[in-house]
Structures are given as structure tokens and as C-alpha cells.
Structure 1
Amino acid sequence: MKEIDDNLLTEFLEGKLDEPANREIENWYDASEENRRRLEALYFVLFAGDRLRAAASVNTDQAFRSLQRRIELRRTKTRPQWRQIAARYAAILVAGVIVAGMYLYQNRPDDRICTVSAERSDCSVTLPDGSVIRLTRSSQLNYPASFDDGNRTVHLTGEAFFEVSKRNGAPFTVTTVHDAEVVVRGTKFNLKAYDDSSDVETVLVEGAVDFRAADHVVALHPGQKVSYNPTDNDLTLQTVNVEAELAARLRTFRHVDLAQIAGVIEDFYGIGVAFRSEALKNIQFTGTLDFNMPIDHILEVLTLSTNTRFNRNGEKITIHK
């Protein structure tokens, strides 16, 4: 009998030998337990390994039907042995597929969307990339649970201060309800983007950002503030006192109904606002309110600007003429 090396065994398993050579390998296989283990091990290395690396597309039945066709043992006593081998390795392959599937499942990109809401007080959240976001009360942030695919896009409703970690080739984008967005590459900035008719505003502390809204694209430098009104598609850029801007909680409204302003007041101060008549709800307000101030101050500014009055009874505010 010629020397049986791994190259010859590989050709046998791949079905490349002629009939006499196949019979010679079969006889060699029956000769000893060591030979059987050697062929089985080689089979596993050649075929099972490939299947595990392609776990998602494994068809074990097809694989072993192919193996049986290659071997085509003539002797009855040999056939059950090979069926046992096939069954044994089918079990190994199935187990391998399960393990590989679990690995792929556990390491798949996490496409969940996380939501953090600051309902009654400010709060902070650290994102998967290490960026830190400080949310102002009555604000909400949505972000992907995993940034592994380079997707660093978050969505803000309300106001937040961002400290964005730098990551080469992966810009950080903040989208808003008004289709305005801020694109950054490692910086500190404050963004206001409420879902009412107040302006979308960004104040840049350090770094560089691009502010994009409709047909506007503005590159900000530290110490600058951009204000965008989605109703008028109006955008302004100015130099500001950053510390003063961050300390204040200013909201700028343009031609906004009092009913909508009342909703903002209710959300922020947790107090009810009612109107003596429906017509009062439609009066429009244009101006800036500082929500760091007591509610009575807010109401004074609001009613003086709209030629209305207000009464306060505990936690209930009534606006009237």
C-alpha cells in the first residue's frame, strides 16, 4: 500500500480520486482506529471549519449527503461506520452553528434607540462614544444604543449642552424636529430646539460646528450664536457672551399664539394656565423669555407685550383682558 498522506486523504474527501484509489483509502481507513481518527479529524478541519465560518448559510444535511456520495463505500460493514461519522459530525456542526449563531447575535450591531427625558429637572447622559450631554428640564434626547457602525446621530427636542468626544472619520450630528441640524467633530456647544415655534439656537463654546437648516449652512466659531426661525426661514449669526448665554434660559418666540406659550409655561413650571375666552388664545407674542426667572416675571413680560392681564390663584394662572 502506498503511503497515505494528508494530501491524498484531502483528495479522497474532495472526491478527486479514481475508483482504485478510493478503495485503497477505504481499506486503509478500516485498518486501524488511529487511521479512522486521522481521517475524521482531517474531515472536520476541511469541512466543519468552513461551515462554522459561514454559519449563517450552513446546510448540514446537504454537506453530509455530499460526503456520503464522495465516500461510496462498497462493503456493508463500512457504510454504517461512515453514517455514524456523518451523524457525529453533523451534531458537531449543528452545535458549532448554534455557538457561531450565538456569537453573531451577541456581537451584532445594536440598532435600538435609547431615549432620555429630563421631565422635571436637568439631567446628564453619557453616550456610547463617551460624549456627555446635559439636558435641560422638559427636554428629550434620542440616540442609538451602539455607535459601532460610525453612526453618531442623535435627536434633540428641547435644550442641551454637548461635550462631544472626538472620533476620526465619524462626525457627530444632532438633528431636530425643525429639520435643522448641527454637525460637529469634537466640541462643546449648547443647542436649543424645542418642538414649538421658538427659534432653534446654537452657541459654540469651543471647537467648530456647521449649522444646517433648509438652504442655510453656517460655520460657527467659538463665541458665536446662530438663531434660526423655522416659520420664517430666517437665520442670524452674532457674537455673544458665552457665559451669559449659558447661564440664562432664554427662549425667543416670533408670532407665537399665547395658547402655545401657555403650554411651554405649564411644562416648565408645572402650573396650569387658563384663558377667560378662546379669542385670547390666538393673540400672538413676539419676544424673549428667560425661564430662569420666577413665573410671575414671565407672566408680566408676556401680558405687557400682548396687552393682557393675569391673575394667579395658587397653582392656577388665568389670563384675561
Structure 2
Amino acid sequence: MDKERISRLIARKLSGEASPTEIQELDAHLRAHPEDAYFLSILDDYWTMRTPPPAADDAEARFSHLLEMAGADEEAPQPRVRYLRRAIAIAAAVTGLLAGGWLYTRYSSQPPDTASAALIETVAKPGAKSRLLLPDGTVIWLNSGSRISYPSSFSDTSREVEIEGEAYFEVTKDPKRPFIVRTRDMQLQVLGTAFNVKCYPGDHKTEATLISGMVQVSRAGSQEAPVLLHPHEKVIISSNEDVTESKQETQRLIVQHLKKSIADTSLVETAWVYNKLVFDGEDFGEITAEMERWYNVTITIHDPSVARYRFHAKFENETITEVLSAMQLSSPFTFKINHNEVNIYK
């Protein structure tokens, strides 16, 4: 039985949602693999012993809270801690699996003068997208190849997270504790809102798109006044080092207005949250970066003219072969796929 199936069965058993057939299937597997039975018993202990926060009234939220508590337990014996860390690594995938993806979570120490003694870092592997529930009730969708770090418990004055890659936030409102998102190029401060942040290491720009509420955006390390973003606006900060210093102040931070007639599910900036791959005039070179993360492949375009092709399309459940075949109908090119390597030719 593969890990996805095991994790799903364990999650359903803990939440009380498993059918008799699923329970029989899980029991048969655990009899054959006692190491997974011990893993289940540890999680079951925490499931029954720990009380979820008031907002965690559904199975997935309860399981997320379970993982937070288990990872922060400093009193557990060392053998149990060792198994707990293994459990967290697998069970974090369960939480993501319920939303269609795999996660890798790890815990590390911070200096003693910081607000929290434990820093949680969660990574969505290439080809996967997952959903997180933070300690304050904020919900985050993490796109493939992205990572986020945050303290195991927020301070009394602020809630700060750091993101690399792409994430969509639905922030729980808390006027006494502003929610702060830090990226390579920008800092966002909100009270309660929905927005998308994109800042992959290989990109030459960082984007923040506001869906609802209000967001205050400032450039990292800059003393200039922050920009107040309104719904259906996007701010772009370019990190192109070729821009001259004299033009840098006027060209690096740009605010764009999005079409309000387009639903959030079809916006290029947020369609990925709804498991849709949308192209809206981007060239092939830009599109390949999205497709590499989406399908966990490496794409090489061997003709510069092909890299300049622009596409308008929307996909949901298509394979990479089906996507490329559909794109061929509008622009002439050929492709070859060898395992995880894709080569594009004229």
C-alpha cells in the first residue's frame, strides 16, 4: 500500500470518517506493518488527549492542530519524540493530502531572545499544492515548490510569517495583532483579508495580489512610504539588477489593476488555488516555469523563436502531454517527453 493511501486511511480513522471497509483495509495493513501501527497509536494519543482550539471544529482543522501540539511537545520521552518527528513528517502530508498535495514539515530552534522557541517550516514539494491551518486560524494554500516558516505560537503583538514561492492567504482578523508576510523583496501587513503572494527564487519579480480587504505593502529595506493595496489590485516589485539606480525608485514598484469581471477562480494570479492552470498572454518562456512546478518536470526550449510564443488558455485536470498538445493547435512546435524531461523544438 502506498503512503498516500495509508495516510488517507489513518486521517479518516482518526477523524471518525472511515467506512467499515476502510477500517478493515487499514487493520490488515497494520497487522503486516507494525511500525505503522505504532505511528498510528502515537497520533491517536495526541488526538484524544489534546483539545482543539474553538475554531477547529472540522476534522482537517483538528488534525492540523494535533500536528502543532505534537511538534511542540517538549516533555515527551526521546523515543517518542523520534517517532513523533517521523509521524509529523508523514501526517503533515495527510493534512495537505486532504487538499490534494504533499507537505514536508520540520521544526527548528530559534535564538532565546525571539518571540517563540520553535520555528516551523513547511515545504510543498514540486508537483504538489497543499493547505495549512496556522495557530491563529489563518488558512494558507501553498503552491508547489514553495516554503513558509512561522513560529509555533504567535506573539501578543504580531503574527509574522516568511514565504518563498507562492501562497494564498485567508487571514483571520485580529486588530491587536497585525499579520505580517515577509518575502525577499517586500513586506505585507494586514488585519484580515485574502491575498496571493508570489516570489519564487528564480523569478525576477515579486507579486502580491489583493482579493479582498486591504493590504499595506512596503519594499524590503526601503524607507519610502508603503503602498495601500485595494481589492483587485496587484503590486509588482522588480528585482532586475540591470535597472539603473536613477530609474530604480520609479520602476521597481508598480501597481496594476485587475479586471473585476474575471472570477477569482480564473484569475492568472489565483487560479492555481482552484487547481487551474491559466495562461493570459504570457510567453512560452514564462509559462515553462509554471509548468515545471505544476508537473514536477524540467522543460528546455531549444528555439528562441518558440520561447516568444504567447498563449491564452485554461487547463484543469489535463496531463502535461495534453496541455502541450492543446498549445500546439495555436502555435507550431514539437515536443518530446522522456520521464521528467521535456524538450521543445520548432
| TM-score, with structure 2 as normaliser | 0.48
Task: Please report how far the alpha carbon of residue 318 of structure 1 lies from its aligned counterpart in structure 2 after TM superposition.
Answer: 1.4
Percent of paired sites with the same residue: 26
Aligned equivalent of 1:159: 166
Q: Which of 241, 244, 253 in structure 1 is aligned with 2:266?
A: 244
Q: Distance in 2 between matches of 1:229 and 1:306?
A: 31
Aligned equivalent of 1:312: 337
Q: How does 1:256-267 map to 2 (within 5 A)?
A: 258=285, 262=288, 264-267=290-293
Write the deviation string for residues 109-167 of structure 1: whole angstroms up to 9, x where unpaired. 42432111121422222223222212223222111223125342211222222121222
Aligned equivalent of 2:155: 148
CA pair 285-180 structure 1, distance change in 2 beyond 3 A: farther
Q: Which of 217, 228, 233 in structure 2 is aligned with 1:219?
A: 228
Aligned AA (1:221): H
Answer whether contact 2:189 2:217 (CA < 8 A) is retained.
yes
Aligned AA (2:291): I
Aligned equivalent of 2:120: 114
Q: Which of 180, 184, 187 in structure 1 is aligned with 2:190?
A: 184
Aligned equivalent of 2:255: 235
Q: Distance in 1 between matches of 2:237 and 2:115?
A: 37
Task: Please report how far the alpha carbon of residue 286 of structure 1 lies from its aligned counterpart in structure 2 after TM superposition.
Answer: 6.8
Answer whether contact 2:156 2:177 (CA < 8 A) is retained.
no
Q: Distance in 1 between matches of 2:167 and 2:136?
A: 17
Q: How does 1:53-92 map to 2 (within 5 A)?
A: none
Q: How does 1:292-307 map to 2 (within 5 A)?
A: 292=316, 294=318, 295-296=320-321, 299=324
Aligned equivalent of 1:45: none
Q: Distance in 2 between matches of 1:199 and 1:292?
A: 26
Aligned equivalent of 1:134: 141
Q: Distance in 1 between matches of 2:211 and 2:313?
A: 22
Q: Distance in 2 between matches of 1:285 and 1:212?
A: 34
Answer whether contact 1:114 1:143 (CA < 8 A) is retained.
yes
Q: What is the root-mean-square deviation in Å for CA atoms of aligned residues?
A: 4.1
Q: Which runs of 5+ in 2 are unaligned?
A: 1-111, 241-250
Q: How does 1:269-288 map to 2 (within 5 A)?
A: 269-274=295-300
Q: Distance in 2 between matches of 1:182 and 1:155?
A: 10
Task: Please report how far the alpha carbon of residue 172 of structure 1 lies from its aligned counterpart in structure 2 after TM superposition.
Answer: 0.8
Matched, 1:174 2:184: no
Answer whether contact 2:334 2:345 (CA < 8 A) is retained.
yes
Aligned AA (1:235): V
Q: Distance in 1 between matches of 2:331 and 2:202?
A: 19
How many residue pairs get aligned? The number is: 211
Structure with max Cα Rg: 1
CA pair 303-118 structure 1, distance change in 2 beyond 3 A: same
**Greater helix fraction, Structure 1 or Structure 2:** 1
Answer whether contact 2:266 2:278 (CA < 8 A) is retained.
no
Write the deviation string for residues 84-120 of structure 1: whole angstroms up to 9, x where unpaired. xxxxxxxxxxxxxxxxxxxxxx9x9424321111214
CA pair 302-135 structure 1, distance change in 2 beyond 3 A: same
Q: Which runs of 5+ in 1 are unaligned?
A: 1-105
Q: Distance in 2 between matches of 1:288 and 1:182?
A: 30
Aligned AA (2:335): F
Aligned AA (2:264): V
CA pair 262-249 structure 1, distance change in 2 beyond 3 A: closer
Q: Distance in 2 between matches of 1:309 and 1:129?
A: 49
| TM-score, with structure 1 as normaliser | 0.51
Write the deviation string for residues 265-304 of structure 1: whole angstroms up to 9, x where unpaired. 33320234345x5x75995677777574632465468889
Task: Please report how far the alpha carbon of residue 319 of structure 1 lies from its aligned counterpart in structure 2 after TM superposition.
Answer: 1.8
Aligned AA (1:132): V
Q: Distance in 1 between matches of 2:343 and 2:324?
A: 10
- Aligned to 2:266, the other structure's residue is in SS state helix
